[in-house]
Amino acid sequence: MSRRQKQNLYRIIAATLLFIGVAFLPLEGLWKAALYLVPYFIVGFDVLWGAVRNIAQGRIFDENFLMALATVGAFAIGEYPEAVFVMMFFQIGELFQNIAVGKSRKSISSLMDIAPEVAFVLREGEFTEVFPQEVAVGDIILVKPGEKIPVDGIVVEGESDIDTSAMTGESVPRFVSAGQLVISGCVNMNSPIQIRATKEYDESTVAKILELVEHSAMNKGKYESFITRFARVYTPCVVLLALLVAFVPPIFFGELTTWVMRALSFLVVSCPCALVISVPLSFFGGIGSASRRGVLVKGSNYLELLAKCDVVVTDKTGTLTTGKLSVTDYTDEETLKYAASLERYSNHPVAKAIVEKATEFFEAQNVKEIAGKGMYGVIGTKEVFVGNKALMETAGISCNEEGAIFVAADGKYIGKIKVSDQVKANAKDTVEKLRTSGVKKVIMLTGDGKEGAESVFDRAGLDEMYHSLLPADKVEKLEEIMQSGENVIYLGDGINDAPVLKRAHCGIAMGAVGSDAAIEASDVVFMNDDISQLTESIKIAKKTISIVKQNIIFSIAVKVGVLVLTALGFADMWQAVFADVGVMVIAVLNTLRTLKL
C-alpha cells in the first residue's frame, strides 16, 4: 500500500475502535451524539470537505455529496451509529478501490519504465552524462550492460544481446552488431555498445509509445461514455426521488422520521460508485494486459471494436508473409550460377535471394543493371541477360511465361528461377483461430501479381483475395467491403498502408517498432511482426468487454432491487451500505481479473 493508503487504513482502524468504545458507554442523548461525532469526523472529514468544495465549484451530485447528505441526515434524526457505520464502510470501499487502481496502474508501470533517465554522449573525446532530451541526431552514445537505450540509432561499435521484451513482448533477446538499427527503451544485456543517434528523444520510439499510452484514456468507448452520461442523469434523479420518499408519504401515513430514514438509506444505495469506478478501471486493465504482450491500444473504443470484429482485411508482404524473398524453384544449377554471377552486383531484394541460394559464381564483366527489368553482363564470351519478360523481349529472346526471373546467354534461353515471399509459419493457424473467435471472413489485399497472391492465399487458408492493387485501389476495395455494415479491421505493416489503416473501423499496424507512420496512422500497434497477436488481442478485448457487462448488469440490478426494497421499508441503512459499498468492492474485485488476461 502507498503512504496515503496506509494513513486511510489507520484512520479507519482508529474510528472503528472509538465507535465500538462509544457504543458500550452508558450514555444517552446529546452526550452520546457528541461522542459519536469523534469517530465520524476522524473517518469522514475528507468526504465532508470534498462535498463542500464540490458544491462551491458547482459540482453537486457526486458520491461525496450523497454520503454527506445521508450521514448528516442520520445524525439529525438521532440514528448516530448508522451514520458513523455508513461513513466507515464507505471509506473501507474507497480504500479497496484505491488499492485496486494501484494494482491496475502497476500493470502498465513496466511499460512506462522504458524511458531511460540518462544518456552517455561523446563530447570532446569523453562520454558525458546528459538527459536523453539533450541528445542530438548524429551524437555517439555509450550504452553499458543493464542500461536502457535512450534514443533510436544505429550500432557503430560493439556487439551485444538486447532485451526487447518491454517494447515488443518478445522474450528472446536479440543480438545486434555494428550497422544494425536499435530502438529506444530496449535494455543492453551483455557488452558495451556505441550507437549513433538517428532521432531526437521526442521523435524516438520510446517517446511515441509513452505518448500513446498516456492518451489512451482520452478515446472512450460506448460503455465508458454511457456510464458518464448515466451518472449525470441518474444521481440528480435519485436525489429528487429521495426527497419525495422523505416528505410525500408522511402527508398520508405520518411517521416522518421513518420515511426520512428510508430516504437517507435511498441516498446511500443510489451512489453510482460501482459503475463509475469499475467500468473505466476494467478498460484500463484490459489495455494494460495488452501492453504487456507488446500490443498498444489507443483507447477503450478500439478495444470494443476488436471485441466485435466481423471481418479482418490484411496486407500480404510483412503481414501474412515474412517479407524476405527466397528462391523456391529453378531450372538447374547452371541457370542459378549464371543468374547469381550478375545479381551479386545488385542490391535488389530478388538479386539478394538468388545470390544467397547460389554456391558457385562465374567471373562477369561489363555488368549493368537495367532499371525495372534486370541485369546484363558478359561471362566469358557470352552476353548474359537475367531479368523479367520485358528484358527478354529487349534481348530478342522468346518467352511466354510469367512470374519468374529468366536467364538467357549468347542469344539463347537457358532457364528460369522462381523467387517468392514465404508465408509465416503461424499464418494459417492464426486464420483458423480467428474464425473460431467469431471472425466471418479473412480477406487479403495486395499490390503483388496474381500468381504470388494466389500462392499466399492457398497456403494461408484465406476466404477472399484481391491482387495487383495500388494504395488508392486498396482504399477503394476496403470501402466496398465496409459497405456490408460489418465491423472491419485492417491489419498491415504500417509503412505503406497508412491510408487503409486510417479508413478501416480499426487499423492495426504490425511490426511497427520504429515506424512513425504506423504509430500515427493506426488505432492499435503490434510492436513485433507476430500475426498471432491479433487473436490474443481479440481474446483480451472480448474478455474485457465481458467483465464490463458483468459489472454494469450486477451493479444496476442490485441497486434497483435494494432501492425498491428501501422505499417499501424492507431494507434499512445496513442493506443500503451493502448495495453501495459492497457492490463497489465486488465490482472492483471482478475488474481485477482484467489484469490477468
Q: Where are the domains of the chain?
A: 119-213, 323-422
Question: Catalytic annotation on 572?
Answer: no
- The residue from 315, 523, 530, 580 that is catalytic is 315
The three cell numbers of residue 297 are: 491500444
Q: How many CB atoms lie within 10 A of CB 1?
A: 12
CATH superfamily assigned to domain 323-422? Calcium-transporting ATPase, cytoplasmic domain N (3.40.1110.10)
Are 335 and 519 spatial neighbours (Cβ–Cβ below 8 Å)? no
What is the residue whose three cell numbers read 465490482?
Answer: 587
To 10 degrees, the CA torsion angle through 176, 181, 185, 191?
A: 30
Calpha distance 499→502 (Å, rounded): 5
Q: What is the DSSP letter of 536?
A: H
CATH 2.70.150.10: does it fit domain 119-213? yes
Give one DSSP letter per residue of 334-372, joined into a string.
HHHHHHHHHHTT---HHHHHHHHH-S-----EEEEEETT
Are 308 and 487 spatial neighbours (Cβ–Cβ below 8 Å)? yes
Calpha distance 461→453 (Å, rounded): 12
Predicted local distance difference test score (pLDDT) of residue 278: 77
Predicted local distance difference test score (pLDDT) of residue 136: 92
Q: How many CB atoms lie within 10 A of CB 311?
A: 22
Calpha distance 277→588 (Å, rounded): 8
Predicted local distance difference test score (pLDDT) of residue 294: 79
Predicted local distance difference test score (pLDDT) of residue 103: 59
Calpha distance 214→194 (Å, rounded): 30
Are 377 and 384 spatial neighbours (Cβ–Cβ below 8 Å)? yes
User: Mean pLDDT, 10 residues at a time, over the chain (597 residues)?
Assistant: 80 90 83 89 89 80 74 79 80 73 55 73 90 92 92 93 73 84 88 93 76 60 69 76 86 84 78 74 82 82 92 89 83 92 89 91 91 89 90 84 84 88 89 94 87 85 90 88 92 76 88 63 83 93 93 86 82 74 80 78
Where b means 16+ CB within 10 Å and e means fewer, 533-559 reads: bbbbbbbbbbbbbebbebbbebbbebb
Q: How many CB atoms lie within 10 A of CB 45?
A: 12
Overall residue count recorded for the chain in this entry: 597
